[in-house]
Amino acid sequence: MGFKPGDCAAHSTFFKLTILFTLVIGGLIFFLVQRSRTQVLKTEDGWWGAGAPPNGGEDITIHAFKVTTSDDELKDLYRRIDQTRPVPSLEDSQFHYGFNSHYLQRVVSYWRNDFDWSRQVDKLNLYPHFKTNIEGIDIHYLHVKPKKVPEGTTTIPLIMVHGWPGSFYEFYGLIPLLTEPSDPGDLVFEVVCPSIPGYGFSEAPHKKGFDSVCAARVFHKLMKRLGFQQFYAHGGDWGWLVTTNMAQLEPKTVKGLHVNFAPPSKPGLPMALSIMLGHRFPKLFDFTDFDIQRLFPAMEKLVVESVKESGYMHIQATKPDSVGRALNDSPVGLATYILEKFSTWTSRDFRSLEDGGLTRKFSLNDLLTNVMIYWTSGCIISSMRFYKENFGKGLNQPHSKIPVYVPTGFACFPNELIHTPKLWVKQKYRKLLTFTTMARGGHFAAMEEPLLMAEDIQNFTKIVEKKKK
């Protein structure tokens, strides 16, 4: 068939339409990408104090704070411990029914007769504590500056946020490794550790609705009040979500985000495909042998494990004040409820041990110090309400839809409650610079493995700082 005169014009028109179509599609993709890159989480100032906001401006004064105790406080504690009513555990039950009552008696005996709260108060006060009022409530925080800064070195500001049932005390072994590093090649950090409102010595909100986004906004205000225009953030458990929200609210303020907990927030197509096909084609999804081991047990086992370890969350996300009132009255009940988590969440295998493996990774002094922070501040109910405020609004919140474009580092500890492979982490954290498979450690990683955590924070921050330069 020969060439026809109209063919040239037709080909030219088709070519132009193809280019136009490509430009339109390319422009649309570019627009969507840019839109997602510039999308930030929106929030509005709140007032969480009792009653209506005052007519005058906000009090921005910063006050020094010290943890204290008294004879009356200890007498009341001992009286309540002495009046506890022991209940025997079932034979051969270990920690499968919760905290083993036989071992609990040993813990309670140590708490009553050997634990020195006054000495632990002195330990708590080794670092400087402060309080300042933000949005109507007093915010407690540690602000630890390095004692010696090498000449020509600039300190790196870092905010570290805890979770439940932890506290700022989780970071006591980690702080000196960051502020006074032994390696001269390491970065020197200036650390701020706040207590989430309603936890520890931070005042509890007096009104409904205080969720992770509100905490993120309050902590941004705290860092600005301390003079930091940019800083790094680290978090685990609730601290993961609070610091993630901080990165979503002000991505230019948070220079880098480091987390050791990142459960999938919004399943997408890559995650769905990886669940369906990952077991057969692991390399296609960058799955390691450990990923396969954690993600693909028998479905029955997966469901049973989820039910075993999520009962507390159902209670706290629905009716926290009911069980909270009992825990607020009974120190032994409070210790049982909190310490059981430090057993099972450190390693599920500890459920089969008579002592729950508690002192394999932690000392009783440290564990009871964390319990005492909850007891002396009377914060267990307000800490549990944080679940109600976050889950009560549904799972499809604005922050769950917004990716994080702040440089991110993820420390993947093998005994974490929820395993999140690299592919899944990258769905949320689009600038994932480091993904470290840690040698050991569980949910309370900063307290359990401070050396490993410090090393990973150092390595991640060095990469970000090098890129910035």
Angle of helix 212-225 relative to helix 238-249, nearest 10 degrees? Answer: 70
What is 179-222 written as a DSSP string?
Answer: HS-SSTTS--EEEEEEPPTTSTTSPPPSSTT--HHHHHHHHHHH
Angle of helix 320-329 relative to helix 331-344, nearest 10 degrees? Answer: 110
Contacts of 1 (CB under 8 A, 6+ apart): none
For the CA atoms of the chain, what is the radius of gyration? 25
pLDDT for 13 equals 56
Mean pLDDT of the chain: 90
Beta-sheet strand order (sheet of 254-259): 62-65, 129-134, 137-144, 189-194, 156-161, 231-235, 254-259, 408-412, 432-437
Confidence check: pLDDT of 37 > 90? no
More confident residue, 105 or 56: 105
Give the pairing of strands 156-161 and 231-235. parallel
User: What does the domain layout of the chain look like in residue ranges?
Assistant: 62-266+297-468
Confidence check: pLDDT of 361 > 60? yes
Which helix or strand (DSSP H or E) is residue 231 part of? strand 231-235
Confidence check: pLDDT of 34 > 70? no
- Least reliable range by pLDDT among 30-44, 170-184, 347-361: 30-44
Residue entry with tokens 């509005």: 44
Q: CA 347 to CA 344: how far, in whole Å?
A: 5
Averaged pLDDT, 400-418: 95
Tell me if the domain spanning 62-266+297-468 has CATH number 3.40.50.1820: yes
pLDDT for 10 equals 52
Confidence check: pLDDT of 182 > 50? yes
CB distance 399 to 245 below 8 Å:
yes
CB distance 139 to 202 below 8 Å:
yes
Confidence check: pLDDT of 178 > 90? yes
pLDDT for 455 equals 98
ω into 450 cis (within 30 of 0) = no
**Which residue type, as a one-letter code, is found at position 287?**
F
Averaged pLDDT, 342-351: 96
pTM of the entire predicted model: 0.89
Number of Cβ atoms within 10 Å of the Cβ of 78: 14
pLDDT for 39 equals 83
| Residues marked as catalytic | 237, 387, 443
Token duo for residue 177: 């490794």
Number of Cβ atoms within 10 Å of the Cβ of 225: 15
Averaged pLDDT, 44-58: 90
